[in-house]
Amino acid sequence: MNIYKVLEEAITSDCIEIKEKLTQQCSEYCSQNEFISYQGFSPLLFKEPSYSNRCAIVEPKALKTRKDFDTKEGLATLVHAIAHIEYSAIDLALDAVYRFPEMPIEYKRDWLEVADDEIRHYKMLNDLLTDLGFSYGDFPVHCGLFDAATHTAEDILDRMAIIPRYYEASGLDVNPQIIKKLDNKRKLPHVKKLIDALNIIYDEEIVHVQKGDRWFKYLCDKESLDYSIYFEILNKYKLLSKYRPHMNVDARQKAGFSSVELKKLGNIECN
C-alpha cells in the first residue's frame, strides 16, 4: 500500500464517505507497521481546498454575523460554520501525515486518530444540517484554515504551532461561549442536539491540542529550541497580538499550555 497516494486521494476528495474509508485504511496500515518508507515521495502543494467545488468561498468579512438562532435557517448558518471548521480539520489532520513523512509512526497514528475524530464531528453536524433542511455547501465559507496550512507547508514546527496550538486552541476558547449563547434555547430539539455535539467536540479537541503540543515540544527538543519559540512563530504569522477576551485557561492547561504562556497570550495569572 502506498499510504501517501491514499492520503492524497483522501485530502483532495470532497466526499466524506471516501475520506472516511481511506482514513480508516491508512489507520489500519499504520497500526500494523512500525516504519513506512517515503523514499522518492514528494508531497504536492494543493492549490485549492477539497471543498472548493461544494462551497462558495468568500473573504471572512463577507460572512454574515450569526445572531438569529430562532429560525431554522439562522441556526443552520451556525451549524454550517462549525461543520466547515470540522471538515477543514479533517484535511489538515490528513495533511499533517501526508506532508511530513519523516516523522515517527506515533505521529502518523496521532493525526490519523484526529482525522477520524474530525470526520465523526463533521458527520454529527451534517446530520443536524439535514434535520434543519440544509446541506454542507448551502452557505458561503472562508478558507482561512486552508491558507494557514499552505503557509506552513514547508515547516513542520510552524505547522504544529499554528494549526493545533493556535487555531484549535482558539476553538477551546470559543466553544463554551457558543454553548452559553445557546443555553436559553436548550429546550428546542435542534439546539439541544447542537449543544450535545459541541460538548463532544470540546472534550475531544482538548486531546487534539494535546497532540499538537506533544509534537511541537518533540520538535523543539529535537532541535534544542526553547518552547518560547512559539511566540516568535505567532509573531511571524501576525497572530501574537490577536485579542482573546475569553481565554479558556482550564482547557488550555489540560492541553499543555504553561502558566507563563497563558500570561503572555492573555495577560492571565494562573498556577
pLDDT tens by residue, 213-267 = 999 999 999 999 999 999 999 999 999 876 677 899 999 999 999 999 998 898 7
Cα separation, 199 vs 196, in Å, equals 5
**Given this model, what pLDDT does residue 64 score?**
74
Is pLDDT of 90 > 90? Answer: yes
**Given this model, what pLDDT does residue 242 score?**
67
Query: Using the 8-state DSSP alphabet, how is residue 42 labeled?
Result: -
Cα separation, 82 vs 66, in Å, equals 11
Instruction: Please state, for a pLDDT cut of 90, what percent of the chain lies above it.
Output: 86
Cα separation, 37 vs 134, in Å, equals 43
Q: What interhelical angle do 72-99 and 169-182 show, nearest 10?
A: 170
Question: Which residues, in sequence order, are bridge partners of residue 36?
Answer: none
Instruction: Please state, for a pLDDT cut of 70, what percent of the chain lies above it.
Output: 97
Collect all residues with Cβ–Cβ distance below 8 Å to 261 and sequence separation of at least 6.
227, 230
Collect all residues with Cβ–Cβ distance below 8 Å to 3 and sequence separation of at least 6.
26, 29, 30, 36, 97
Boundaries of every domain in the chain? 3-266
Cα separation, 88 vs 177, in Å, equals 21
Q: Which residue has the cell 500494523?
A: 32
Question: Is 208 within 8 Å of 168 (Cβ atoms)?
Answer: yes
Q: What is the mean pLDDT of residues 186-206?
A: 96
**Given this model, what pLDDT does residue 243 score?**
61
Residue range 3-266 forms a domain whose CATH class is: mainly alpha
Taking all residues of the chain, what is their mean pLDDT, rounded to a whole number? 94
Q: What is the mean pLDDT of residues 24-35?
A: 95
Tell me the whole-structure pTM to 2 decimals. Answer: 0.95
